[in-house]
Structure 1
Amino acid sequence: MKGTIIKSYGGFFFVLVADRVLRCKIRGRIRQHYGQVLVGDEVGLELAAGSAGSAGEGVITEVYPRNSELARPPVANVNQAVIIFSVDHPKPNTVLLDRFLLQAHKAGIDPVLCFNKMDLIDFGDLGFFKDYEPAGYPMVKVSAKSGRNIELLGQVLKGKISVLAGPSGVGKSSLLNALQPGIQLKTGDISHKLKRGRHTTRHVELIPLAGVGMVADTPGFSSIYLPAMRKEELAACYPEFNVYSAGCRFSGCLHYREPDCAVKEAVTGGLISLLRYQQYTMLLQEVTEAERRY
């Protein structure tokens, strides 16, 4: 049989096969051959002796090649990364947002920006969004509380395996509950003292949503490491830079201190967000320092 790992817990892998979930172990030689097995991996399996019905147990006999892989959160075969931030309470950390975007780009996964809690601000206030609109990222503005644009989010997820990424407290689990009432995932209130969310989701789990798709609900993050890359690769992860980079004087321009840089000219002309560019130069220094260490 063939199935998809939707959860790993307590030494077992829970594999979705058609309309049932099997609790599976993995043969030692399989683990040695394939290394770490992830949620989202497609696997071959057979029923364990004496198992039958929806409560059966199985044994994983094969792990099929992956189409994609995210390191943090560790999920395989994801089609898109839905990066969720709240517009308020907590306010968006745009540096952290760019780190999530870099992870998606490096993993070869299409990012989608989802901004939750739109009920807390004026729906027409586009000041923050204009920093990311030139990059061309698909963007969904929703409210799990009021239900605004939840159907639109469902259309974005439809027919795909999506990872939901974002810091604690932005409402990832609440959005899943809004998409499919009755899931009853744990959600945490924001600490009014610390203004941070409680980490209510303890493990990575792939959740089938009826008529929509599959999503990975993941532990919240307060920080995220940059993926390993050379400094020359960083600019390519900024889609709005790529529109102008061909006009730079030097091939391989870092858009930092080089003269006659078309990207910097676009920033000066308001065609590229100054905020995004400033965050790029900060991350460029971080990547450069990492190169020197290794």
Structure 2
Amino acid sequence: MPEGKIIKALSGFYYVLGDEGLVQCRGRGVFRKNKVTPLVGDHVVYQAENDQEGYILEVKERKNELVRPPISNVDQAILVFSAVEPDFSTTLLDRFLVLVEFNHIKPIICITKLDLANEKQKANLDQYVAHYRKAGYDVILTSSETELGIAELMPFLEGEISVFAGQSGVGKSSLLNVLRPDLELKTNDISSHLGRGKHTTRHVELIEVGNGLVADTPGFSSLDFTDIEAEQLSSCFPEMALQSENCKFRGCLHLSEPKCAVKAAIESGEIPEYRYEHYKDFLQEIKERKPRY
């Protein structure tokens, strides 16, 4: 049986790219019975009825999957955040970073709209960029208008399956239009009434950019930590994970425990205070989460 990768899902159809080209497939009823929903990014076994149509018979094991956006087998997440309009938010960025780290996906921070930032905003941003780079993250500064940083971003996409994710209105589609001009993806201005972008991307699709595949995903602004347990959270902050090896107690939550290496690193300025504040906020959120039965 032929095998391929789902590169697009739309209205109950799955578009599978295999050796024979693109085949429009439906899922067999067995998936519904077993509560398996094929996702974009899935490696599948399919049966072709003819050159253009077929059925998905099997979904191969996934290395990871995201719920929002619904996609699997992602190598890296390009987290797109604007310098301004909407303003750069470390709280929202850290939420994305935690979820991406938890799913064992490599994050790359991409800050857009540099051309719109004034000198004071750029100076403020430079401090945050230095913090995130020190924590081990790749950070790329870009502008879709001036094409700043585009040449720097392209090599990261080579041979990888990347998901572009971020809040609505930060310029994900504009960035992809610069990376691949023939896409002509629809973009919308920021809604002045709401102060945020209108959703322009309606479905998940893997598109070829350079020698890699990129998913342009629907923008969203709320993320929750449904599957993360309190003890797992600090491992999603790389600089805290590194320091926590020196904590006196195993399972240290870095709150009020004695001889906590993470708290010592915060007091010495090794870990930025705002990252720790976000950690505490997220931890509280996890602890107050309603139990699932």
Taking structure 1 as the reference length, the TM-score comes to 0.92
Tell me the CA shift for residue 234 of structure 1: 0.7
Tell me the CA shift for residue 61 of structure 1: 2.1
Partner of 2:234: 235
Q: Is residue 244 from structure 1 mapped to residue 240 from structure 2 by the alignment?
A: no
Partner of 2:211: 212
**Aligned 8 A contact 1:27 1:60 in 2:** yes
Letter matched to residue 207 of structure 1: I
Partner of 2:184: 184
Tell me the CA shift for residue 34 of structure 1: 6.4
**Aligned 8 A contact 1:46 1:60 in 2:** yes
Deviations 1:199-225 (A, max 9, x none): 00011111122x330011111102111
Q: Is residue 104 from structure 1 mapped to residue 100 from structure 2 by the alignment?
A: yes
Q: Is residue 66 from structure 1 mapped to residue 67 from structure 2 by the alignment?
A: no
Alignment of 1:4-153 (within 5 A): 4-18=5-19, 20-33=21-34, 35-48=36-49, 51-52=50-51, 56-121=52-117, 122=119, 126-153=126-153
**CA RMSD for the aligned pairs?**
1.9
Letter matched to residue 251 of structure 1: R
Alignment of 1:249-288 (within 5 A): 249-288=248-287
Deviations 1:164-220 (A, max 9, x none): 1111001111111111111011111111232200000011111122x3300111111
Which deviates the most, 168-177 or 244-253? 244-253
For 1:188 and 1:129, the matched residues in 2 are separated by: 27
Taking structure 2 as the reference length, the TM-score comes to 0.92
* 1:203/1:88 CA distance change after superposition, 3 Å: same
**Aligned 8 A contact 2:132 2:139 in 1:** no
Partner of 1:3: 4
**Aligned 8 A contact 2:157 2:212 in 1:** yes
**Aligned 8 A contact 1:31 1:37 in 2:** no
Letter matched to residue 276 of structure 2: Y
Tell me the CA shift for residue 291 of structure 1: 6.8
For 1:198 and 1:291, the matched residues in 2 are separated by: 31
Tell me the CA shift for residue 292 of structure 1: 6.4
Tell me the CA shift for residue 115 of structure 1: 0.8
For 2:219 and 2:31, the matched residues in 1 are separated by: 30
Letter matched to residue 188 of structure 1: N
Letter matched to residue 150 of structure 1: I
Alignment: residue pair count: 288
Deviations 1:85-126 (A, max 9, x none): 111110122222111111112211111111111112246651
4+ residue stretches of structure 1 with deviation over 6 A? 291-294
